[in-house]
Structure 1
Amino acid sequence: MGKGTRAALAAVGTAMVAGGGLAFYAAAAARRFERMVPRDGDIVEVDGARLHVVERGQGPALLLVHGLGGQLRNFSRLLGPLAERHRVVLVDRPGSGYSTAAGTGQPSLAEQARSLASLIDRMGLDRPVVVGHSLGGALALVLALNHPGSVGGLALLAPFTRPLTDVPSAFALLAVRSPLTRALIAWTAVVPLAQLAPDRTAALVFAPEPVPRDFPVAGGGALGLRPANFQATSADLVGANDAAIDVAGRFGEIDMPVEILFGAGDAILDPAHQGAEAAAAIRGARFETIEGGHMMPYTQPERVAAWIAGAAERCRAGRGADDRAPAQPSPAISPST
């Protein structure tokens, strides 16, 4: 055996040992994250998934759906205020948090919408107002388009509604199309990178507002670093644009009340393009802004909870499609003092 061959084999062996060590480290970190953020609710088996669900309160139903890489604790600060007058259901999307999808691979938004429609039926929710944040807003729109009889209206928070030409810098590591490469990154690079720069991605997502210190635990942020969650998040990101193209082409089919709220300083999704333009394309939709950024459900829970309650009340008022005027962006809400 020549020196070159021995050197190549040594390099491969070193890489395998290093990779195995990183994978072991990632698995140990995942268990630690799960101890930090344990499961909060029940597992409900539905068509295509086993969904982690938290339910609180009584009254008209609200179904809250989190965004890319998130988990139902993203809405933890909204739960108390909303549950005073509503039956509030928080759900981890399939592949996120403690929800798992049936079969192999991450389900498309259309498949996730089917699972949510099944959840609505299984839990006996009476045409709930669906509150979708970020990518959860895109999922709420797919749910309303594909299963209109399951939904009473949409209250969308910084929703992803239209395709993007560039991936936001906060999500650059996720833009991987190869499942093999995605798995390699998930099991070797994600946790070390997060420890080298623990606040970098969160700072981009929360900008211009500061990152709350309790978000990794109280907001469920730590779970997104688990290898399986990272792979699901990457697959969601890659498939999101195709879903947004389909949704944007079907805005005219939406026949229910839709309200959209954006933080004026959102650094992830452009309020004008993703919010105002989408509202203008949906008959009767309302668009509003408040001060703040993309994570306003966590940073401004009282303001956002009040907005959701108002939007839900207007949805329940039974404004039919024929009674809704063409969409016009409404004046921005003045910031709270």
Structure 2
Amino acid sequence: MARTRTIAGCDGLISIPPTLRRSHTVSSPHSRRILTHTRYNEESCMTQTHTLSVQGHTIQCLHSPSSGPPVILLHGAGGNAETWRPLLSAWSWADTWCLDLPGRCGNPGPAMENTEAIASWLQEVIQESGLHKPIVVGHSFGGALALTLGLRAPSLVGGIVMVSSGARLRVSPLILESVASASEDEPLDFRFAFGEDTPDETVEAYQVTANKTPNQTTLADWQACNTFDVREELGALKPRLLIAHGTEDVLTPPKFQMYLEAQVEGSERFACEAGHMLPWEASTALADAVQAWI
């Protein structure tokens, strides 16, 4: 049985870690999105799986169709689209799209190595998919990507929701070392990211799905996260912004979200008793808050 690698004493060492994903090497910068197939997944009612190809990167996408507003869910560092699957019922009011970032879950190629490259890729995904001004919800590093997208292509999005994230995301060397030394037999233990009262089954379910992401991709995600900093650009943000966070988050503590709220005029903030993994610890509360905000 595989063991998990724990991060001891991380509470006092983590100053501001989040998440990212690696993407595949761009083989053709002008290649367009192609919907290669769609299948109905009987285990998750009304959830379809699509294969998308953009800029030479082929990825999987979960789609929970609805007549509601389009919402894109972006996972955090080391995650993948499947980590959102158990939560989709909470988002049933929306036409929900969960994207794999490149470099995971059987998708060939390495991960993209910085937020700018991934945001550019996401911009083309939205353009080629035909989604009209989707609400982009990003968890942790996914929040950094959503914010970057809002700064670079404001006309494409209907709003940005940053969940457990910030304008700057620095990662403790302890986390980077732990991710670098993790392996298939001894994967990273994600318990450190959850609130103390989170049921073990919730943590274990996330762990099993996240472990499908290759370790080298997870490391690239965290490294990209570590270099993210757009604090000087916040005054230029045009899309609406909702800031959501857990009051017990030790990775991106509440002071990060309060800073965002103070810097972005007209932004709104939602706080819930949870740790860094707010979407999994309080899925219904978060989805309801986003729906009310829209």
Q: Please, what TM-score do these two structures have when normalized by structure 1?
A: 0.67
Gaps of 5+ in 2: 1-46
**Which secondary structure state, in structure 2, belongs to the residue aligned with residue 277 of structure 1?**
helix
* 1:172 positional shift: 3.7
1:225 partnered with 2:211: yes
C-alpha contact 1:48 1:115 (8 A) present in aligned 2: no
CA distance, structure 2, for counterparts of residue 282 and residue 214 of structure 1:
33
Q: 1:89 aligns with which of 93, 97, 105?
A: 97
Measure how far apart 1:202 and its partner are.
2.0
SS in 2 for 1:275: helix
The 1:100–1:277 alpha-carbon spacing in structure 2 relative to 1, beyond 3 Å, is farther
1:151 and 2:151 correspond: no
SS for the counterpart of 2:214 is helix
Alpha-carbon separation, structure 1, partners of 2:234 and 2:116: 16
Q: Which amino acid is the alignment partner of residue 49 of structure 1?
A: H
Deviation (angstroms), 1:99 = 4.4
Q: 1:205 aligns with which of 190, 193, 200?
A: 193
Q: 1:303-322 counterparts in 2 under 5 A?
A: 303-311=285-293, 313=294
- RMSD of the alignment, in Å? 2.4
Match for 1:232: what amino acid?
A: T
CA deviation vs aligned residue, 1:287-316 (integer Å, no higher than 9, x gap): 2211011112112111111012122x1xxx
In the TM superposition, 1:178-217 aligns within 5 A as 185=181, 189-194=182-187, 201-213=189-201, 215-217=203-205
1:251 counterpart SS class = helix
Structure-1 separation of matches of 2:85 and 2:56: 26
1:160–1:287: structure 2 CA closer, same or farther, 3 Å change rule?
A: same
* 2:89 corresponding residue in structure 1: 80
The aligned amino acid for 2:83 is N
Q: 1:237 to 1:288 in 2, by over 3 A?
A: same
Does residue 173 (structure 1) correspond to residue 178 (structure 2)? The answer is yes
Q: Distance in 1 between matches of 2:160 and 2:222?
A: 22
Structure 1 counterpart SS, 2:67? coil
Q: CA deviation at 1:215?
A: 4.8
Cα distance in 1, alignment partners of residues 85 and 99 from structure 2: 11
Q: Note closer, same or farther for the CA distance 1:213–1:141 as it changes in structure 2 (3 Å cut).
A: same
Distance 2:111 2:69 in 1: 35
2:138 to 129, 132, 141: 132
Q: C-alpha distance in 1, partners of 2:199/2:189? A: 10
**Structure-to-structure mapping, 1:239-278, within 5 angstroms:** 239-242=224-227, 244-245=228-229, 247-272=230-255, 274-278=256-260
Structure with bigger RCO (C-alpha 8 Å, 6+ apart)? 2
- Structure 2 residue aligned with 1:68: 77
**Structure with greater Cα Rg:** 1
Cα shift readout 1:55-104 (whole Å, capped 9, x = no counterpart): 11222100000101111233224311322x22111111122335455xx5
Q: Which structure has greater strand proportion?
A: 2
Provide closer, same or farther for how the CA distance between residues 109 and 75 of structure 1 changes in structure 2, counting only shifts above 3 A: same
User: Partners of 1:95 and 1:158 in 2: how far apart?
Assistant: 23
Whether contact under 8 Å (1:259, 1:285) holds in the other structure is yes
The separation in 2 between residues aligned to 1:148 and 1:48, in whole angstroms, is 24
CA positional deviation for 1:224: 3.8
- Corresponding residue for residue 60 of structure 2: 52
1:299 paired residue number: 281
Selected match of 1:284 from 266, 272, 277: 266
Counterpart amino acid of residue 50 in structure 1: T
User: How many residue pairs align between the two structures?
Assistant: 247
Amino acid corresponding to residue 240 of structure 1 in structure 2: C
Letter in 2 for 1:222: V
Indicate conservation of the 8 Å contact 2:193/2:277, yes or no.
yes
Q: 2: CA distance between counterparts of 1:160 and 1:97?
A: 27
Contact 1:58–1:88 at 8 Å: present in 2 too?
Answer: no
Segments of 4+ moved more than 4 angstroms:
98-101, 168-171, 214-217
Residue 77 of structure 1 contacts residue 301 of structure 1 at CA under 8 Å; is this kept in 2? no
Label 1:64 to 1:129 Cα distance change in 2 as closer, same or farther (>3 A): same
